[in-house]
Structure 1
Amino acid sequence: MNHGSREDPDPPGAGVPRDRDAAGRARSARPRDGLGRPLPYGAEGVGRQPEGVVRTPRETLREAQRLLDAGLPFHAHEVLEDAWKACRDTERAGEEQLWRGLAQLAVGLTHAARGNAVGGARLLLRGAERVGPYGLTGAQGPYGIRVGGLVRWAERLAERLGEEPGPVVDAAAEAPRLTGP
C-alpha cells in the first residue's frame, strides 16, 4: 500500500519523525497555509489556532468572524470546533449541533476555496441542515447568530459550486456574517 505520492515532499516513512504532543498523541507540526493545507517543513506558514480554548459563545463568534473576514475559514473552523466540543456534557449540550453546524459551514468554505467543489458543497449543506433548526423561533438564533442568513448563504454557495465550470472561491470575499441583522 502506497501512502505517499510524488507531490508529497514528506510521505510517511521518509525519515521524518511523527510529531507528538506532550500526551504522545500524533500532531502534525508542519506549517499550514491560510486554508489549512500542509506546507513542507521549514516553510513559513500561518499560525495555528490553539486547541481547546474555552471561550464564551460571543467570544467564539467574534474570533471566528475575525478569521472568516481575514480569509482563514480553516482557522475559524477550529475556533468553532472548540465551542462544539465544549458543549458536550455541559448545560449547553443542547447547542452542540449548532456549533458543529457552524464549524461545518467554515470547513465547507475552506474546501470550496481549496477548489474541492463537491466536498465544499456537501459540508455547506450539512452545516446548514444542522444550524437551521436553531432559527425556527425567530429572526436570529442564539447569541444573535444569523441562522436564516447562514442557511441561505450556504445553499447559494453550494449551488454555485455545482456549476460548470466550478467557481473560483475567494474565502475572504465569500465569508458569511455569523451575527447581526
Structure 2
Amino acid sequence: MINLNEEIDNSIDDFDEEDGRQAYLAFFKDSFPFLLCPTLYRRSDDLPVLNWVKVKYSEHAAHVFPDHQGVYMFMVSFENTNLPNNSYVMYVGKAGDVNSNNTILRRFMDYVNPSGFRDRPRIKKLIKYFSEHLYYYYATIPVGQSTADVESTLADIFVPPCCQRDFSANVRSLLRGIRIT
C-alpha cells in the first residue's frame, strides 16, 4: 500500500520556486476565505450596546480578563507607521450564555492552551501564523441575556473566515450554498 502522505511530500518537493510560492499563498487564501457584504452589515442594528476592550494576544499576561459572560472577536491588525489602520475580523465567539457559566477569562485561556484549539484547524493556523498581529476584543453581556444571539449577529455581519457554525440559520444556509462554511 502506498503512503499517501509520503507521495504528497514527494510531489511538493517537485514544485519549482514559483509553484511553491503560489502554493504558499493559496494556503492562506484557502485557510482564511473572506466575504464582505454591505447587506449583512445592516444586522449591526440588531446588536445591543457593546463596550469593546482590546487586548494584544501576545501581551495577554498583563491583562486582567473579566470573570463574566460576553462575546469576543479575534482580529488581525498589521500595525505599522507606514500603514493605515487596518484589521480583519477572523473569529467571533461567546463565553457563557443563559445556560452556561463560562466566562471571558476562561474562554480566552482556551486559546492560550493548545489543547483548547487542537481540534479547530482554522483557529490553530490563526494563532500559529498571526499571533504577533492578533488582537482579542471582548465585551461583557449582562447575566440573563443571550450571548448566542449577539454572537450569531456578529458572525452574520463579519462572516469571519475562522467561524463555521456560529451564524444565524438563514446566513448559514446561504453560506453553504456558496461553500464558505
TM > 0.5: no
Structure showing greater Rg: 2
- TM-score between the two structures when normalised by the length of structure 2: 0.25
Q: Which has the higher contact order (CA 8 A, sep 6+)?
A: 2
TM-score, with structure 1 as normaliser? 0.25
